[in-house]
Amino acid sequence: MEETKFIINGNEYLPLRDVVFNTLRDAILTGKLIPGERLMENQLADKLGVSRTPVREALRMLALENLVELVPRKGAQVLDMSEKDIINILEVRDALESLATSIACKKMSKEMLQQLKLVEAEFEQAIEVNDLERIIQLDEDFHDLILESTENDKLSHIYQNLRIQLYRYRMAHLKVDSSIPAIIAHHRGILRAIENHDAEEGATVAHGHIKYHTEFILRSIHNK
Amino acid sequence: MEETKFIINGNEYLPLRDVVFNTLRDAILTGKLIPGERLMENQLADKLGVSRTPVREALRMLALENLVELVPRKGAQVLDMSEKDIINILEVRDALESLATSIACKKMSKEMLQQLKLVEAEFEQAIEVNDLERIIQLDEDFHDLILESTENDKLSHIYQNLRIQLYRYRMAHLKVDSSIPAIIAHHRGILRAIENHDAEEGATVAHGHIKYHTEFILRSIHNK
DNA sequence: AGATAAAACAATGTATACAGTATTATTAAG
DNA sequence: CTTAATAATACTGTATACATTGTTTTATCT
């Protein structure tokens, strides 16, 4: 052994465009960059300590995630969503969540169902101790598991994208205590449907879940 | 009037990246670029007479349309779809087509329905004279009108993207004469459901339509 | 001859420079 | 003082140059 290179991990390299992309996306989703705000390439490049090239590419990625609006020769700005947009997204999400749940009812493995039950238990536990961060995370995990069980990458990808777009309105949902019991009921209903391999029932419950979610988000927007 | 600039139209400017994007997309969809083929930035730039910059941006756009695969530091290649991918896409498309049709049943205007009937009439006429190009175009128009009536841009956008991905397998569908009668029956069923504002019926017929379509595409792949 | 290492090459990643166009500020005219 | 024209500025669009990495070829050793 003459010389060994210190390769910690096979793949810890990330192109700058992805770093910039992640940074900007995070800033948008957490509200550090507000809707309508202009995003200038030079300015961002300076602030992030990179050149314009990766910034440009990151902006284009964000545009295709529907987080940024790009007008040729004018520039980019953080996309502002109208109520109509939100309704539209939820309409699609409804159909996809129903689809995912009904597929899950058909082909989720026993092991995965076990895991799902575990997540649900932790979810309800997190509610007991009022750990908001954890509640949100586990709710996401719950839906992720269902998506994963569909073994449909396209479906997962589209769904995730819709979720990202609604991310900014996510807090408003679970923050309100009164919505919690309904959500638990929905989750349990979905679990039951999966356990019984009842695809129709699963789709119905999922539909109700999103409908409930929709009304909540809309209400929270109106109260702003 | 001292000097007038010749601005033919308010907006006929297209960034080079979009020109490249359109060119490459067309080449992929029509099979001039085959799945698995490597796409090298320099080579493409030379061939198209532009620099690498717009080519890079176009490639990234294609990647987010799922037509090209991008591996960091390795390069781009035309994405090859597995049968599993096609099934997955059709699974999602099924849900979205059903959604779109049921919405159309609820809120398509009289004028639009009239237009839809017109398209269907022309469609059946094109079949009579066996004008394949026109048949395909009118089938697309039919579905586009339904999408438009949903007044849901997000839904339309996602659906179009799925369609693009299946574009390469589109011919195989309508080319086969025996499938035509079923398609006509489906279209007429959808028309009837819209006319009766029967959302449930619309979703059901749409579902059957896509299911039929799915089987056809799969069969044509297997016979290759 | 086969395998391994080194070097040459080719492609992507990133930065920068220049060109063209919107926008803003400034100045002149009414 | 308002408005229109013009100049200045700031931004995006595109090209190119350099850096880094992955791949292939060639040479050397067993």
CA distance B181 to chain A (A): 29
User: What are residue B71's DSSP bridge partners?
Assistant: B75
Quickly give A79 CA vs C24 C1' distance in Å.
24
SS3 state at A19: helix
Contact B15 A72 (CB under 8 A): yes
**Residue of A88, A152, A153 with shortest CB distance to B155:** A88
Contact A60 B56 (CB under 8 A): no
Q: How far is CA A25 from CA A53, A152, A168, in A?
A: 17, 25, 11
**Rg for chain B, CA atoms, rounded:** 20
Residue B74 beta carbon within 7 A of nucleic strand C: yes
Contacts of A69-73 spanning 24+ positions with Cβ under 8 A: A72/B13, A72/B15, A73/B13, A73/B15
CA distance A108 to chain B (A): 16
Q: What is the pLDDT of residues A161-186, one digit of tens each?
A: 999 999 887 765 556 667 788 889 99
- What does the alpha-carbon distance between residue B42 and residue B61 come to, in Å, rounded to a whole number? 17
CA B149 and chain centroid, separation = 17
What is the H or E stretch that residue A27 is in? helix A16-29
Neighboring chain B residues of A94 at a CB cutoff of 8 Å: 99
Q: Which domains does chain B have, with CATH numbers?
A: 16-78 (1.10.10.10), 83-222 (1.20.120.530)
Q: Which residue is nearest to nucleotide D21 (CA to C1')?
A: B73
Nucleotides in chain D with any atom closer than 7 Å to protein CB? 10-17, 21-23
Neighboring chain B residues of A13 at a CB cutoff of 8 Å: 72-73
How does residue B172 score in pLDDT terms, banded at 50, 70 and 90? Answer: low
Q: How far is CA B161 from CA B67, B74, B155, in A?
A: 10, 26, 10
Q: Which residues does B24 contact at the CB level (< 8 Å), separation at least 6?
A: B33, B39, B44, B58, B59, B62, B68
Q: What is the DSSP letter of B9?
A: S
Give the tokens for residue B152.
């849901």
> How long, in residues, is chain B?
224
- What does the alpha-carbon distance between residue B67 and residue A134 come to, in Å, rounded to a whole number? 37
CA distance B155 to chain A (A): 6
CA distance A86 to chain B (A): 10
Residue of chain B minimizing CA distance to A103 = B91
- What does the alpha-carbon distance between residue B67 and residue B36 come to, in Å, rounded to a whole number? 11
Nucleotides in chain C with any atom closer than 7 Å to protein CB? 11-17, 20-23
Give me the tens of pLDDT residue by residue for chain A, a chain 224 residues long: 322 333 334 456 899 999 999 999 999 999 999 999 999 999 999 999 999 999 999 999 999 899 999 999 999 999 999 999 999 999 999 999 999 999 999 999 999 999 999 999 999 999 889 888 898 899 999 999 999 999 999 999 999 999 999 988 776 555 666 778 888 999 999 999 999 999 999 999 999 999 988 888 888 888 76
**Where do runs of H (alpha helix) occur along chain B?**
16-29, 41-48, 52-64, 83-107, 110-128, 132-149, 153-166, 170-175, 180-195, 199-222
Neighboring chain A residues of B52 at a CB cutoff of 8 Å: none
CA B55 and chain centroid, separation = 23
Contact A158 B13 (CB under 8 A): no
What is the H or E stretch that residue A70 is in? strand A68-71
Averaged pLDDT score across all residues of chain A: 89
CA angle at residue B157 from A107 to A157, to 5 degrees?
Answer: 35
Residue located via tokens 């035509």: B180
Determine the residue type at B100: A
Q: What is the pLDDT of residues B182-224, one digit of tens each?
A: 889 999 999 999 999 999 999 999 999 999 888 888 888 887 6
- What does the alpha-carbon distance between residue A48 and residue A22 come to, in Å, rounded to a whole number? 12
Quickly give B216 CA vs C21 C1' distance in Å.
51
Q: Which residues does B92 contact at the CB level (< 8 Å), separation at least 6?
A: A96, A99, A152, A154, A155, A158, B162
Quickly give B44 CA vs D9 C1' distance in Å.
35
